Amino acid sequence: MATLSADVLICGAGPAGLVLGNMLRAEGIRCLIVERQSRAHVEQRARAGFLAANSVRILTENGLADGLHANGLTHDTCAFRGDHGEFELKYSGLGRGEMHTVYPQQDLVRDLVKEFLDRGGEILFSTEVSEIDAEGASLLLGDGSRLTGQFVAGCDGQHGVSRRAVPARVYQRDHGISWFALLAEAGPSVSAVLYAMHPNGFAGHMARNATITRYYLQVPKDFDPRSWPDERIWDELRLRMRTDQYGPLRTGRFVERRIVHMTSHVMDPIQHASLFLAGDAASLISPSAAKGANLALMAAETLAKALAGQINLGDSVPLKSYSAEVLPRIWRAQEFSHWMINLLHSPSGNDDDAVFLRSLQRARLESLRDSRAHQDHFAENYVGI
């Protein structure tokens, strides 16, 4: 027979689930996190590292930012390089005057796991959830046992079981673009986040810290990440980043290679009965504007406050309006991400359509370079949500 396991059952020990769990524990709410991967895996998984001002606020206000403040690096400049030349935007002096804090996600997850356990929370690592009963607020585990609670939070990403338990319309778009994502044991070659446009395709440079840099290369959808040796990759990065004009790249061993397809989806609604979705379970956004983790933290904050209001105060209004509160932020982030995709990518070839779209891309870049109003709008959406 099922027994009451916790007030809130949380699927997934990523940033959304861990911030949610920590905030609930601070309110005295019993919560249990179930994670299909091992602790070592989630604490070593390299993902996004650019935290927006709102994310830093959430972590700081909830006592979750000691590591970030001790070891994070502020960042406020991006550069655009192409056949138009190069220009930089120091976005901390534009828009709302906000900047990013660079703190690798695996470091943040380690901090959040430790704090959650210190606050008396429990995490079941290496535990598969095979089914969610949203009506009964219960989880069926892979071993046949069942956990029950009052509410379930689905924070288990795009491939988890949570999103399948919500009867919702899913809005999807395949942008037809793929990135070869690389993590190199190499210090930054430029101080800015670099977006390089080239006839061969887009290339990106995003430093994670003084010794690790994230690189991206636009590749065909069927590209095999094992097909290029290291030197072939560095040659392509040098070509697309025009190092003959702007200076060399610092090289090192690649410690990660994977393919990222530019796809987007949004579920509506993101709640059903006792089940509420946050993070990539609710919406998947392309990495072109570093919004995924930041959307996840904001949703976690909203959900934590709503659940605490319901459980501790009997106020059901915020929980009922969770989807209405979170979805507009998701769509605004999706719109900016879609704009960034069109800014950074253009088709090859010399047919009329390709030339037309490349001309539009150049016009967008020139407007971003020359228009203060355009720059303010970019900065507000690049850092904020």
| Active-site annotation, residues | 75, 195, 287, 291, 382
> Maximum CA pair distance of the chain?
70
Report the distance separating Cα 55 and Cα 48, nearest Å. Answer: 13
Query: Residue 249 gets which letter from DSSP?
Result: P
Residue 226: other Cβ atoms inside 10 A:
7
Token digits of residue 269: 């609604």
User: What are the residues whose beta carbons fall under 8 Å from the beta carbon of 202, sequence distance 6 or more?
Assistant: 179, 195, 196, 216, 217, 218, 240, 344, 345
Looking at residue 70, its amino acid is A
313 by Cβ neighbours in 10 Å (0-12 / 13-18 / 19+) ranks as exposed
Could you please report the per-residue DSSP string of 274-287?
TEEE-GGGTEE--G
**Which of 16, 36, 210 lies closest to 105, judged by CA?**
16
CA distance 369 to 382: 15
Nearest to 341 by CA among 181, 204, 208, 206: 204
Rounded CA separation 212/174 (Å): 30
Q: In sequence order, what are the residues at sequence separation of 6 or more whose Cβ sits closer than 8 angstroms to the Cβ of residue 31?
A: 6, 7, 8, 9, 10, 20, 21, 24, 25, 121
Which residue has tokens 């070593």?
Answer: 44
* Residue 284 in tokens: 């998947």
Helix (H, G, I), strand (E, B) or coil at 219: strand
